[in-house]
Amino acid sequence: MQKLAIGIDIGGQSSKCGVVTHEGTILCQSVVTSLIDSFDEYLTLLANTVKDLVRQTADRGTVAGIGIGAPNANRLDGTIRYAPNLKWARGADGKPGVVYLADRLQEATGLHVRITNDANAAARGERTYGVAKGIDDFIMLTLGTGVGSGIISHGRLVYGHDGFAGELGHVCVEQDGRQCNCGLKGCLETYASAMGVARTAREFLKKDSGKSILHNLDPEKISSKDIYDAAVQGDSLAKEIFTYTGRILGRAMGDFVKFSSPQAIVLFGGLTKSREFFHDDMVKAMNDNLMQIWKGQIQILYSSLKESDAAILGASSMVWSPDEV
């Protein structure tokens, strides 16, 4: 009977779990809430979900282990450290703390558990099953609510000495710029994420005296989708917002290239659905910020995996190759 793996993608709102074959077929999935205050309660919910998935696929194969992608997860010690958006990962003082998720879930399920940062999990999934298959040097950027990243060099993820390397979303792109949730100012995440695009819209609307349809929306509730919908209708301010975003992202990507000289940069996440409005400006800004040796040499790829599947697939791949990408 074939071996199977369980991949878990933990987000601030929900946790997606799936049973995956070695070839990358997801046999079944389940989604549970992450909006739980107690770590013990969340752990019980997650463990019961895993056990249910094992039962559902018992006739298809044997589950060999669990891989998890989660914010601020550390593969070296199996912890989640100071994740501000996970309510159950907080200490007695209510502040983000350290939880030993891998060990506790292993005790609860009897299955070996490996854990990594969610963006690293997405990078693993892309290289194992997606557009980066066979590429040994690339940077994965996840453009969602925030900006995550995974750096693949010589076929291996770059973890650094403490397991936290690759926080490119928190590289400063604007000196004394926007306040970021991480405590720093001017982070790429505050400009090139869905959250960042909404912030740009609010700033631009304050200065705009034109007839943009965005003026009809509550600026405090405006979303990146609202801006995309306006751009599709030809709204010039909405297009200007994406142009601004693309230029900042592209300039940062040029800096990233200088660091690791990747063959490609892979973009993933909800914001990529708006790429028709920022792709060209992003690529131009990147090449304008590159030395001649790299100009026009870096592939820009967009994920071929379903957004809901990429992190599950990447997390599950740790069961097959824990020490490789």
pLDDT, one tens digit for every residue, the chain (325 residues): 899 999 999 988 899 999 999 999 999 999 999 999 999 999 999 999 999 999 999 999 999 999 999 989 999 999 999 887 899 998 888 888 999 999 999 999 999 999 999 889 989 889 988 999 999 999 999 998 889 999 999 999 998 998 889 899 999 999 999 999 888 999 999 999 999 999 999 999 999 888 899 999 999 999 999 999 999 999 999 999 999 999 999 999 999 999 999 999 999 989 999 999 999 999 999 999 999 999 999 999 999 888 778 889 989 999 987 555 4
Give pLDDT, residue 164. 86
Residue 325, in any domain of the structure: no
Are 278 and 284 in contact by the 8 Å Cβ rule? The answer is no
Where in the sequence is the domain holding 269, given as residue range(s)? Answer: 134-304
Instruction: Write the DSSP assignment of 183-230 as a string of letters.
Output: S-BSBTHHHHSHHHHHHHHHHHHHH--S--GGGGS-TTT--HHHHHHH
The structure tokens listed for 146 are 């925030």
Going by their DSSP bridges, the two strands 73-74 and 79-81 should be labelled as: antiparallel
| C-alpha span between 230 and 223 (Å, rounded) | 11
Residue 62, in any domain of the structure: yes
**DSSP structural state of residue 37:** S
Closest CA to 299 of 129, 177, 126, 147: 126
Query: Angle at CA 245, nearest 5°, toward 14 and 235?
Result: 95
**DSSP structural state of residue 168:** G
Residue 201, in any domain of the structure: yes
> Could you tell me which residues are beta bridge partners of residue 4?
21, 63
One domain for residues 84 and 215? no
One domain for residues 96 and 148? no
One domain for residues 180 and 288? yes
Give pLDDT, residue 237. 97
Give pLDDT, residue 322. 56
pTM, full prediction: 0.88
One domain for residues 263 and 187? yes
One domain for residues 23 and 169? no
Place of tokens 């892979």: 266
Phi then psi dihedrals of residue 147, to 5 deg:
-125, 120
CB atoms within 10 A of CB 103: 14
In the chain, what are the helix, strand and coil shares in percent, each to the nearest 5?
Answer: 40, 25, 35
Residue 191, in any domain of the structure: yes
One domain for residues 34 and 171? no
Give pLDDT, residue 304. 86
Give pLDDT, residue 325. 46
| C-alpha span between 136 and 123 (Å, rounded) | 11
One domain for residues 296 and 157? yes
Q: How many distinct structural domains can be found in the chain?
A: 2
Give pLDDT, residue 210. 82
CATH code assigned at 50: 3.30.420.40
One domain for residues 273 and 160? yes
One domain for residues 146 and 285? yes
